[in-house]
Amino acid sequence: MRWAKAVSGIHQFVESVGEAIRTTIDVHHHYYPQKYLEFLERSDISPHPSAPLSTETMEDRLARMDQESIKAAILSASQAQPYLAQKTRAADGAKMANDLFIDVAAQYRERFKVFAALPLPHIDLCLAEIERVLDHPDVVGITVTCTILTEPLDHPRFEPIWQELNRKKSVVFLHPAGREDLEWLHDYHLTWMVGAPFEDTVAALRLAMSGMTQKYRDIRFIVPHLGGTLPFLLARLLRQSKDATLAGELATLFYDTVSGSVDALTAATHVFGADHLLFGTDYPYCTGEEFHHHQTYLSEAGFSTNELAAILGKTSSALLDKR
């Protein structure tokens, strides 16, 4: 009987690990339709040396996901947002991007969902696009950059958007804009090497310190790259801000695991909790080896089977479930 129980226990363990693999969801996964990039006149984005996998076909992408047992990915436009000065072009750009993304999700059913783009900074057009796409079954949230052009997310002009997304109980995925307008980041690829995680850091802090995380409790914000430098600076932030609520408010946000550093992952786990970490790869901004490592390094951080299953997909699945 003891052997039967032991074998049963082994089977249960294998099944739980298998379930974690089967439900793996990549929340940080970019897609750049050529038609959309041409509309934006953004030939600088893809293909690009910093995105080694950007020349892959959709079939190549799916094969790579299958190789890593990734069940589904959430498509987002990254820094290729339709933030255009001319209102008609901004509206057309957002509609084009979202419709192209939705078409892919429809073509590859159950493999892709969508974080929709908005025609910022035009508030009325954003509200119209939210109304048009957010209830679509393949759209599981909205994506915005960490700053809207040069303005922070907590700028008062954006309040109607946050009010509506809060009413809709939406997920909002943040992504660095790539602030190439900042002269001190111009050289040595610093805009993305360190500027991007600084953008993550500042955006998360402004959400918490402005009161947005309290005011819009029903928005689930996802911050990329383990929250940038937040896990390492938290003690300094708490000491200098003298804000007793800051750590708790930052812990209400969700953070994707795009990093590759076990030390950084461990720090983020201590600060935010494993239950607020979501698996991501930053495809196509990685080599094939790095794409593989984005998942395998999670197993080196000492997570329990249940924690690993939650990070790989169970938390994302619950977060993005629109039922």
Tens digits of residue pLDDT in 65-91: 999 999 999 999 989 999 999 999 999
- What average pLDDT does this structure show over 195-222? 97
pLDDT at res. 265 = 98
Cβ neighbors of 226 (< 8 A, separation 6 or more) are: 255, 256, 257, 258, 259, 264, 265, 267, 268, 277
- Domain 19-320, architecture per CATH: Alpha-Beta Barrel (3.20)
Backbone φ and ψ for 140, nearest 5 degrees, come out as -110, 5
Backbone φ and ψ for 246, nearest 5 degrees, come out as -60, -50
Tens digits of residue pLDDT in 21-54: 458 999 999 999 999 999 999 877 766 778 899 9
pLDDT at res. 8 = 40
Omega of the bond prior to 121 within 30 degrees of 0, cis? yes
**Helix locations, 108-176, DSSP H:** 123-133, 159-167
Give me the helix-helix angle, 230-241 and 195-209, nearest 10°: 40
Cβ neighbors of 206 (< 8 A, separation 6 or more) are: 152, 153, 154, 212
- What average pLDDT does this structure show over 144-156? 97
Q: Among 119, 138, 146, 114, which Cα is nearest to 130's?
A: 119
